[in-house]
Chains A and B, each alone.
Chain A
Amino acid sequence: MYASERWGKRVNSKRPVNLDITTIKLPLPAYTSILHRISGVLLFIGLGFLLYGLELSLASEESFGALKVLLTAPLAKFINWGILSALIYHLIAGLKHLLMDVDVGDGKESGSLGAIITLVLSIVLIILAGVWVW
């Protein structure tokens, strides 16, 4: 038996696993990380709306006008603001990620501080985006 096969077997059968997320008390950076994933999925779906808007805005002067009217509807404003919120959060959390890649803010205390800054900055910008949309 090759060494790699022995290792493979051991890794698959005997490795103790305790990553049941419901049994772990999650620190704040864990929540900002989960939000980063959720906002990413929302953007993946929201891109369909954005492309539809881009299509209307560029197809003709009439469809451009129709889009402007469409964007005054409450539901359209809410979707618009939702996508903007996801984008704002994802962008800021992503910038934090890039900083952590170069060892800025990846310690225990600095990580918590980074999570707080990410949340506060996002909330402020998301409120401003709401003011802009409405």
Chain B
Amino acid sequence: MVTNITNLSRSGLYDWMLQRLTAVVLGAYSVFLLGYLVVNPGLQFDQWAGLFDETWMRIFTLLALISILAHAWIGMWTITTDYLNDRAFGTRSVLIRFPLQVVCFIALFSYVIWGVQILWGL
């Protein structure tokens, strides 16, 4: 009997695949940005702002942010359903789990909007 209705795609298999696709994007973005900072010590504003003026960098950054939205949602959903469950908190555990999932989603959605504002200087 299916009792869980809060997972992202309503299918564990799609969630599993999405978790991995977004992981590859986030891994590539993290390695690129960290590598950029490591090979550019004493970075100045003009060069840094110039990088984020590039269209491809804005696309890459926005893609990473949207990937975080999906990736972290699936991750936080997994953690909340694994630990904040009936076994740990009794039959009303949903009253703890669901509000926390809402907070996670609002936080992640806000991160994306905030990122858009930063990238386009709004």
Q: What residues make up the interface of A, taking CB atoms closer than 8 Å to B? A: 4-5, 7-8, 11-12, 17, 37, 40-41, 43-44, 47-48, 51, 54-55, 57-59, 61, 64-65, 87, 91, 94-95, 97-98, 101, 132
Contacts and interface: CB of A to CB of B under 8 A. Distances in A.
B interface bracket (residues with beta carbon within 8 Å of A):
20 to 34
Contacts of B59: none
Nearest to A65: B45
Contacts of B1: 4-5, 7-8, 11-12
Contact of A48 (B49, B111, B118): B111
Chain A interface main SS type: helix
Interface string B4-31: 0000000000000000100110010011
Interface of B: 1, 20, 23-24, 27, 30-31, 38, 45, 48-49, 52, 68, 72, 75-76, 79, 87, 104, 107-108, 111, 114-115, 118-119, 121
Given A40-B75, A47-B111, A94 B27 contact: yes
A64 to B, nearest CB: 4
Given A51-B114, A58-B52, A98-B23, A64 B76 contact: no
Contact of B118 (A17, A43, A51): A51
A92 to B, nearest CB: 10
12 contacts: A41-B79, A44-B107, A47-B72, A47-B111, A51-B111, A57-B45, A57-B48, A58-B52, A59-B121, A65-B45, A87-B30, A94-B27
Contacts of B23: 94, 97-98
B43 to A, nearest CB: 9
B45 A64 contact: yes
A2 B76 CA distance: 35
B27 A95 contact: yes
5 cross-chain pairs, A with B, having the tightest CB-CB distances, nearest first: A8-B1, A64-B45, A61-B45, A55-B118, A40-B75
B72 A40 contact: yes
A37 B121 contact: no
Given A51-B115, A132-B38, A64 B48 contact: yes
B99 to A, nearest CB: 16
Nearest to B23: A94
Contact of B76 (A8, A44, A91, A94): A44
Contacts of B76: 41, 44
Contacts of A95: 27
